[in-house]
C-alpha cells in the first residue's frame, strides 16, 4: 500500500464489493461446466460485440467503464512501487476440463498468491489463444489466466503471456492430451506445480478491470506479468486447434491508470 494510486484502487474495490448486492460469483469459480444466463461465444451473433445485449446480467459488457482485456502501452504505464508477488502454489496432478469456452484446470485448495499483505487462493487457471491483453498493440500466441480469490471475495487474476519459442525449456505436458470436446476432462500423468508456468521475473503491470467473459463483472485486480514465457509452437497449436480464437477484443482504458513495477 505504498503508492497513492494503489491505496485508492484498493479502497475502491473494497467499497464496491461492500456496495454490491450480491457477491462476485462467476462461472470462473464453478467446478463444472454449467448453464449461463445466455449462450455466448467468440463469433457470429453471440460474439463479443453482442454480449452486452444477450442478457440483462451481461450489460457491463457494453456499459462497463473498467472492462478487460486492454492494450497495455508499456511506456505510458506509470512506474509505481507495487507490492511484491509471492506465489505459494502446490505441486499436484493436473486435470484439464474443456468447458466450451476454454481449457481449464480447477485447483484443489492449498495454493496461494500473496500480493504484499493480501492473500488470495488459486481457484483455477485457463488459457486463451491468441492472447487477450496486448502489449503495445501486439498479441502473443497464448495467454494463461490464474484466477484467485481472497476471503473477502476480491478477485485477482494473474495473466502470463506466452510466445512461440522452439528453444523453450518449458515442458508442457498439459498440451499432450487436451480435452477436445466441451465437457471432456483430461488428466496428465505427471504432477506439476502451476508456478512452472510463470516467468522468472516477478515484475508486473497492475490495473483494475473485469472478467473477460460474460457477465464481465468488474473490480477485478489484474496482474499482467511483464516477462512472457516461451513454449514450442506445436504445443501452442494444440490449444489453438481446439479453442480457435477465444480472445475478447481489447477494451477502452477510459480513465484508468496502468501501473508497472519499478
Ligand atoms: Zn481468462
What pLDDT digit, counting tens, does each position of 36-95 carry? 788 999 999 999 999 999 999 999 999 999 999 999 999 999 999 999 999 999 999 888
Ligand 1 center–CA 109 separation, angstroms: 20
218 pLDDT band, cuts 50/70/90, is very high
Instruction: Answer whether residue 20 shows pLDDT above 80.
Output: no
Q: Are 140 and 131 in contact (CB under 8 A)?
A: yes
172 pLDDT band, cuts 50/70/90, is low
Q: Which of 27, 34, 36, 101 is catalytic?
A: 101
Q: Domain limits at 197?
A: 4-261
Ligand 1 center–CA 212 separation, angstroms: 6
Q: How many domains does the chain have?
A: 1
* Dist CA 17 CA 111 (whole Å): 24
Q: Are 140 and 151 in contact (CB under 8 A)?
A: no
Active site residue 101: yes
Q: Are 208 and 221 in contact (CB under 8 A)?
A: yes
Q: What percent of the chain has pLDDT over 70?
A: 84
Instruction: Answer whether residue 196 shows pLDDT above 70.
Output: yes
What pLDDT digit, counting tens, does each position of 237-254 carry? 999 999 999 999 999 999
Burial of 34 (0-12, 13-18, 19+ CB in 10 A): exposed
CATH number at residue 144: 3.10.200.10
Amino acid at each position: 500500500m505504498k503508492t497513492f494510486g494503489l491505496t485508492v484502487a484498493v479502497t475502491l474495490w473494497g467499497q464496491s464489493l461492500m456496495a454490491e448486492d450480491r457477491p462476485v460469483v462467476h462461472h470462473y469459480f464453478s467446478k463444472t461446466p454449467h448453464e449461463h444466463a445466455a449462450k455466448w461465444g467468440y463469433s457470429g451473433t453471440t460474439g463479443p460485440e453482442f454480449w452486452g445485449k444477450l442478457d440483462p446480467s451481461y450489460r457491463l459488457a457494453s456499459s462497463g467503464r473498467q472492462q478487460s482485456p486492454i492494450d497495455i502501452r508499456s511506456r505510458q504505464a506509470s512506474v509505481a512501487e507495487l507490492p511484491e508477488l509471492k506465489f505459494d502454489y502446490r505441486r499436484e496432478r493436473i486435470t484439464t476440463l474443456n468447458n466450451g469456452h476454454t481449457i481449464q484446470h480447477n485447483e484443489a485448495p492449498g495454493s496461494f498468491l500473496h500480493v504484499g499483505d493480501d492473500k488470495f487462493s488459486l481457484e483455477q487457471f485457463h488459457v486463451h489463444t491468441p492472447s487477450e491483453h496486448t502489449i503495445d498493440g501486439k498479441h502473443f500466441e497464448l495467454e494463461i489466466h490464474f484466477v484467485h480469490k481472497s476471503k473477502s471475495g476480491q478477485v485477482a487474476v494473474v495473466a502470463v503471456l506466452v510466445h512461440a519459442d522452439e528453444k523453450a525449456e518449458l515442458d508442457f505436458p498439459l498440451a499432450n492430451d487436451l480435452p477436445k470436446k466441451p465437457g471432456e476432462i483430461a488428466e496428465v500423468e505427471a504432477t506439476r506445480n502451476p508456478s512452472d508456468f510463470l516467468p522468472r521475473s516477478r515484475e508486473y503491470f497492475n490495473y483494475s478491470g473485469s472478467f473477460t467473459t460474460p457477465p464481465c463483472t468488474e473490480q477485478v485486480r489484474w496482474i499482467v506479468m511483464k516477462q512472457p514465457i516461451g513454449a514450442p509452437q506445436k504445443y501452442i497449436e494444440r490449444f489453438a486447434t481446439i479453442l480457435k480464437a477465444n480472445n475478447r477484443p481489447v477494451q477502452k482504458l477510459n480513465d484508468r491508470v496502468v501501473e508497472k513495477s519499478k
